[in-house]
Structure 1
Amino acid sequence: MPDNETYDVAVSFSGAQRELAENYVRACEALGLSVFYDRNVSARMWGRNFITEFRKIYGQGIARYVVPFFSRDYLGGPYPMDEYNAALTWSIELREDAYILPIMVGDVRVPEELLSSATAHLRAEDWSVEELAKITFERVRTTQPAPPPEPGVLLPRIAPGGYSPYETLEAALSLVGRRFQEQAPLLGQYGYLCRVRTADREVDVRVETGGRSVYGLKVWFDDSFGQDQLAVGIGWPSFQGRGMNGWATAEWDEQHQEGRLKFADGLHGTGDALLTADQFFDALWRKVVEHIEQTHR
C-alpha cells in the first residue's frame, strides 16, 4: 500500500457478511467516499503479508473511521478480530471513541470489554445499505479536515472565507438528534423510556419511568442575542417552557482546521475546550445518565 494513501472509511467484516459489506462499500463509493475494502487492493497485496498490512490500515490512522460489521461469525473469526483489535488499540491511544462506527448484524452480543454497551451503534436490519452509506457520508462530511498548507506557505490564522458557523451548528443539531435516537433504546434495560422528537430547529428529549416524566432536555436554534447559537435546556421538568441554562456557539478550530462548538453549561460552568459535534452529544448524554444514576442511589 502506498505510504501516503488514506481512506475515509475502512470496513471490517467476516466472510459470511461479505455481500452486505461489499454492497455498503459500493454505496459509499457512489457518494464519493474512499473506502478500504480488501478486494479493491487485491492486486497491490499480491505477495505481501496481509495481516501486517491490514493492521496498518485499521490501527495506525490510515483510515479516518473503521466500520466493523459485528456478527457472531465476526466475533469468532481470527482475521476480523485482529483487524478490530488493531482499531480498538488505536482508538484508545487517540482517546477517540468515535473512531469506530459499529454496525450490528443479527442477534449478536458484543462483550463489554470489546465495545461498551453505552456506545451507539446501527443495526443492519434497520437500514438499507444506501441509508447506511448516506449516514456515513454525513459523518465524514461534517468532520472533514481541511488539507494542510504547503510547507513554507504563510497563511492567516483565521477561519477560511467559506466557513459557516451556522452550518456547524446545523450539522451538530442534526447529529445530536440522530445519536439520541440511536442510544435512547439502551435505557430500556434499566426501566426508563427515552422519547426523542426532532425537528428542523429543535431536538426534544423526555425520559420517563413508572408512567411519569423524570428528566428532559432540549436543544434548539436561538438568535435572541444577535448571534446564532444552540440553546440548551437541561433538567426538565425543573424548568418551564424554553428555559435555557446552557448554550453552544460555533468557532473555527485552528488546530484541527474545522468548525467546533464551545459549550457553556450554565449549571456547571464553561469549559475552554472546543468540542466536536460528537463530543457535544456525549456531554448531553452524560447528563441524562448521571441523573438516572443519582436518582437510584
Structure 2
Amino acid sequence: MSDRETYDVAVSFSGAQRALVEKYVRACQALGLSVFYDKDVATQIWGRNFITEFRKVYGQGIARYVVPFFSREYLGGPYPMDEYSAALTSSIELREDAYILPIMVGDVKVPEELLSSATHHLNAEHWTVEELAKITAERVRSTGPASATPVPATPAPGVLLPRIAPGSFSPYEALENALSLVGKRFQANAGVLERYGYTCRVRTPDHAVEVRVEQRGMPVYGLQVWFDESYRQDRLAVGYGAPSYRGSAKNAWATAEWDKQHEEARLKFTDGLQGAGSTLLTAEGFFDALWRKVVLYIEQIHR
C-alpha cells in the first residue's frame, strides 16, 4: 500500500459488522466510489504491520471521509478504536468537522468525548445499504474532487523508478508533524495512568512537548521533546528521566529521513542512554517509544 493512493471513503468497523459493511462497500463501489476496505488490500499489506498501515489511511488524509460503524463491539475493540483515534486526530488537524461520517448500528451510545451528541449520524437500521451508499456518494460528489493537486500516475508493473525522496519531502515538516502527533497522543493517553495512582500532566508550548508524571502530587518523572536549534541539521531533542519540565538534558534525539523501502518519511531515533544504535520509526512508533519509557519507569519502581 502506497501513500500515493487516495480513497473517497475509508470504512472502520468491528468484525461483528463485517457482513453489513461489506455490502455497504460494494454498493459504494458500484456507484463509482473508491473505498478503503481491509479485505481489498490484504495482498498489499501482507507482511507489513497493518496497524501502522491503517493509521496512514485514517489519520493522514489519504481518505476524504472516514465512515465508522459504531456498535457496542466497535467501542470495545482495540483495533477499531485505534482507527477512530487516528481519524479523530486527523479531523482536528484538518479542522474538518465533517471528516468523520458516523453510522450507528444497534442500541449504542458513543461517549461524548469521542463523538459530540450534536453531531448528526445515520442509523443502519433506518436505511438499506444501497440508500446509505447513495447518500455517501452524494456527499462525496457535492464536495468536488479529492484534491486540487493531481495524484501522481500509478506506474505500470515492472517500470523502474528512482528510489529517492520526492521533491516535496521536507525533514522539518516531518519532524513538526511528528512533534504535533506526540503531543496529541500523550494528551489522549494521560488519563489512563490515574488508575495506578499517577497523574500525567502534558503541556505543548511552541515547538515542544512537556510531560510531567506525579505521584501524590510529587513529581517523579519527566519527559520533554523539542526542536534542537543548536544542531547543524533539523532534529528533535529528547530529555527524559528528570521530573522537571525545564532544563532536561538531551539523552536522545530524532532526525527525519526518507525511507526508501516504505516510501514515506520516518524518524531516525537514537537513544543515547540505551546504546542500541538508531531505529527508523514512524511518527506513531516514535510516540510508542516515548510512552514506553513512562510505563517502564512506573513498572520498575513497583518491582
Q: Same fold (TM over 0.5)?
A: yes
1:68, 1:101 within 8 Å by CA — same for their partners in 2?
no
CA distance in 2, matches of 1:159, 1:221: 22
> Which residue does the alignment assign to 1:278?
284
Asked whether the equivalents of residues 266 and 280 of structure 2 are also in contact (C-alpha less than 8 Å), the reply is yes
1:29 alignment partner in structure 2: none
1:74 counterpart = 2:72: yes
State the TM-score, normalizing by the size of structure 1: 0.61
- Distance of aligned partners of 1:155 and 1:58 in 2 relative to their CA distance in 1, 3 Å threshold: closer
C-alpha distance after superposition, 1:223-274 (max 9, x if no partner): 2121100000011138961311110000100011111001111110244431
**Contact 1:246/1:266 (8 A) holds in 2:** yes
1:92-241 equivalences under 5 Å are 101=85, 106=109, 123-125=114-116, 149-237=155-243, 241=247
The amino acid that maps onto 2:13 is S
What displacement does 1:173 show? 0.1
Correspondence 1:11-30 to 2 at 5 A: 11-12=12-13
Instruction: Measure the CA separation in 1 of the matches of 2:243 and 2:285.
Output: 25
Deviation string, structure 1 residues 15-48 (Cα, Å, up to 9, x no partner): xxxxxxxxxxxxxxxxxxxxx89656437679xx
Find the aligned partners of 2:218 and 2:229 in 1 and give their Cα distance. Answer: 32
| Matches of 1:177 and 1:204, distance apart in 2 | 8
| Other-structure match for 2:130 | none
TM-score scaled by length of structure 2:
0.60
Residue type of the partner of 2:10? V
For structure 1, the 5+ residue unaligned runs are 15-35, 47-53, 92-96, 109-121, 130-144
What secondary structure does 2:258 align onto? strand
Percentage identity across paired residues of the two chains: 48
Task: Provide the rounded CA distance (Å) in 1 between the counterparts of 2:68 and 2:283.
Answer: 24
1 CA distance for matches of 2:163 and 2:29?
40
- CA distance 1:153–1:268, change in 2 (3 Å): same
Which runs of 5 or more residues in structure 2 are unaligned? 16-20, 32-36, 46-52, 59-65, 89-107, 121-150
Q: Structure 1 residues 205, 167: closer, same or farther in 2, change over 3 A? A: same
Q: Which amino acid aligns with 2:114?
A: R
2:280 is paired with a residue whose SS is: coil
Letter in 2 for 1:269: G
How far did residue 167 of structure 1 move? 0.6
Taking the aligned partners of 1:273 and 1:148, their CA distance within structure 2 comes to 30
CA RMSD of aligned residues (A): 4.5
C-alpha distance in 2, partners of 1:281/1:271? 18
Report the Cα offset of residue 155 of structure 1: 3.1
State the aligned residue count: 227
Q: Secondary structure at the match of 1:289?
A: helix
Give distance in 2, aligned partners of 1:98 and 1:266.
30
Find the aligned partners of 1:127 and 1:290 in 2 and give their Cα distance: 40
**Residue 293 of structure 1: aligned partner:** 299
**What SS does the corresponding residue of 2:236 show, helix, strand or coil?**
strand
1:219 match: secondary structure: strand
Change (3 A) 1:193 1:231: same
Q: 1:242 to 1:61 in 2, by over 3 A?
A: same
Q: CA deviation at 1:61?
A: 6.6
Post-superposition shift, 1:193? 0.6
Deviations 1:74-117 (A, max 9, x none): 22xxxx79xx98x95xx9xxxxx9667488x7478xxxxxxxxx
Q: Secondary structure at the match of 2:230?
A: coil
- Distance in 2 (CA, whole Å) between partners of 1:178 and 1:248 is 18
Counterpart residue number, 2:39: 56
Q: What is the alpha-carbon distance in structure 1 between the residues aligned to residue 168 and residue 28 of structure 2?
A: 40
How far apart are 1:201 and its partner, in Å? 0.2
Distance (whole Å) between structure 2 residues aligned to residue 173 and residue 146 of structure 1: 28
How has the CA–CA distance of structure 1 residues 216 and 55 changed in structure 2, closer, same or farther, with 3 Å as cutoff?
Answer: closer
Letter of the aligned partner of 2:290 in structure 1?
Answer: L
CA 1:287–1:58: 2 relative to 1, 3 Å: same
Q: Shift in Å at residue 194 of structure 1?
A: 0.4
C-alpha deviation, 1:8, in angstroms: 6.2
Whether 1:262 aligns to 2:268 is yes
